[in-house]
């Protein structure tokens, strides 16, 4: 038995630091399940599978903005670092795929920030959730986020900030449902927290109560409408159909 990241490093001929980074990014699997803890003790004959994220695809760009379809498994800041001269206007969780917008000049960035601040940006998501969703839900529960180390959010009626989420049923497969989600606020983990509060955590979101193991959290940012333009990221195959 030895620590997973050290065994992975030896197997792949990479540094311990690089191996730990791959595990922390959720890119390493053992027997079809994501390896969560880099320092976990694993047998010496453990077989690892590394699944690198897809390439970043550009959806649209002009002199003001560049819009990409962020793959799951990539941090939003990694996208920013990969595109010289562009600045993130918002963020998606590492495991969330979909529309990510970056500004290319200060004038556009300032205007876009004002749109976000005044809740004039429409964001539509698609997700698979635990349980059967038959009716639409409007969730208005204030959210408080603790950002010491790994961010975690919770419903807090006393000190939480306003958060508005609309959930619309789309499809049911067994005890899982595909839903369309619209948000106007953008609190950290808002969709994840609100759906968990409604007893429908997102499939694969172990942090907020999903009991179904998946290669990633099944949440996709499908469209964003800002400053009169609508940007669309095609729904990926793992969310088009569940299993």
Is 63 marked active-site? no
Confidence of residue 170 (pLDDT cuts 50, 70, 90): very high
% of the chain exceeding 70 in pLDDT:
98
| CA-based radius of gyration for the chain | 19
- For the segment 97-115, what is each residue's pLDDT rounded down to a tens digit? 999 999 999 999 999 999 9
Q: Check residue 53 and give its pLDDT.
A: 66
Domain ranges of the chain: 2-50, 57-240
Calpha distance 81→91 (Å, rounded): 13
> Does pLDDT of 171 surpass 90?
yes
pLDDT given at position 228: 94
Of the candidates 163, 89, 164, 99, the one whose C-alpha atom is nearest the C-alpha of residue 126 is 99
Chain mean pLDDT for the chain = 91
User: How far does CA 47 lie from the centroid of its chain?
Assistant: 27
- Tokens for 69? 């379809």
Angle at 209 between CA 191 and CA 76, to 5 degrees: 45
The one catalytic residue in 64, 81, 93, 205 is 93
Q: What is the pLDDT of residues 84-101, one digit of tens each?
A: 889 999 999 989 999 999
Domain covering 2-50 assigned CATH 3.40.50.300 in the classification: no
Q: How many helices (H) and strands (E) does the chain have?
A: 6, 17
Nearest residue to 78 via CA among 127, 36, 26, 25 = 25
Residues 6+ apart with CB under 8 A from 157: 141, 142
CATH of 57-240, one of 3.30.2350.10, 3.40.50.300, 3.30.365.10, 3.40.50.2020: 3.30.2350.10
Residues 9-50: tens digit of each pLDDT: 888 888 898 888 888 877 788 887 888 888 888 988 998 888
User: For residue range 186-227, what is the model confidence (pLDDT) as tens digits?
Assistant: 899 999 999 999 999 999 999 999 999 888 999 999 999 999
Amino acid 28: pLDDT = 86
Q: Return the closest-CA partner of residue 57 out of 32, 38, 82.
A: 82
Q: How many angstroms separate the CA atoms of 122 and 152, rounded?
A: 24
Distance CA 135, CA 200 (A): 13
Q: Specify the pLDDT at position 52.
A: 66
CA distance 214 to 208: 14
Nearest-angstrom CA–CA distance, 134 and 170? 8
């Amino acid at each position: 038995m030895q620590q997973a990241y050290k065994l992975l490093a030896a197997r792949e001929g990479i540094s311990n630091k690089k191996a730990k980074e791959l595990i922390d990014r959720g890119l390493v699997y053992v027997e079809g399940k994501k390896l969560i803890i880099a320092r976990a003790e694993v047998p010496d004959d453990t077989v690892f599978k590394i699944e690198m994220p897809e390439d970043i695809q550009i959806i649209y760009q002009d002199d003001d903005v560049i819009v990409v379809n962020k793959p799951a498994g990539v941090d939003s800041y990694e996208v920013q670092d990969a595109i010289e001269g562009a600045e993130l206007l918002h963020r998606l969780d590492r495991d969330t795929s979909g529309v990510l917008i970056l500004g290319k000049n200060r004038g556009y960035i300032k205007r876009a920030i004002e749109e976000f601040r005044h809740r004039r940006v429409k964001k539509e998501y698609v997700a698979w959730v635990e349980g059967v969703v038959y009716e639409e839900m409007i969730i208005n529960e204030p959210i408080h986020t603790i950002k010491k180390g790994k961010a975690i959010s919770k419903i807090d009626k006393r000190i939480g900030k306003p958060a508005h989420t609309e959930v619309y049923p789309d499809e049911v497969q067994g005890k899982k449902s595909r839903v369309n989600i619209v948000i106007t606020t953008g609190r950290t983990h808002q969709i994840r927290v609100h759906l968990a509060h409604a007893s429908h955590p997102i499939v694969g979101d172990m942090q907020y109560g999903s009991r179904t193991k998946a290669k990633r959290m099944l949440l996709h940012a499908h469209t964003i409408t800002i400053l009169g333009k609508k940007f669309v990221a095609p729904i990926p195959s793992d969310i088009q159909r569940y299993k």
